[in-house]
Amino acid sequence: MKNIILIAAPAAGKGTLSEMLVEKHNYAHISTGDLLRNASAKGDELGKKISEILARGELVTDEIVFELLERRLQEDDIKNGYILDGFPRTLSQAQEYDQMVKKMGIDLGIVVVIDTKYETLKKRIVGRVLCKDCGSVYNTLTGVNTPKVDGICDKCGGELYKRSDDNEESFEARFKTYQEKTAPLIEYYKEKGNLFLIKGEDKEQMLEEIEALLHD
The span of 52-60, 131-139, 148-156, 184-192 binding ligand AMP (CB under 6 A) equals 52-60
**Across the beta sheet with 160-161, what order do the strands follow?**
137-139, 128-131, 160-161
The span of 20-28, 51-59, 133-141, 190-198 binding ligand AMP (CB under 6 A) equals 51-59
- Determine if 109 is a binding residue for ligand AMP (CB under 6 A): no
Q: What is the DSSP secondary-structure string of 43-107?
A: -SHHHHHHHHHHHHTPPPPHHHHHHHHHHHTTSGGGGG-EEEES---SHHHHHHHHHHHHHHT--
Q: Pairing relation of β-strands 160-161 and 128-131?
A: antiparallel
Q: Write the single-letter amino acid at 169.
A: E
Which one is catalytic: 72, 89, 122, 123?
Answer: 89
- Determine if 5 is a binding residue for ligand AMP (CB under 6 A): no
The span of 53-61, 100-108, 128-136, 206-214 binding ligand AMP (CB under 6 A) equals 53-61
Catalytic residue list contains 163: yes
Helix (H) or strand (E) holding 35: helix 32-41
- Beta carbon of residue 16, minimum distance to ligand AMP (angstroms, whole number): 13
Catalytic residue list contains 14: yes
- Beta carbon of residue 114, minimum distance to ligand AMP (angstroms, whole number): 13
The closest of 113, 38, 35, 40 to 67, measured between CA atoms, is: 35
Which residue, 32 or 139, has its beta carbon nearer to ligand AMP? 32
Catalytic residue list contains 124: no
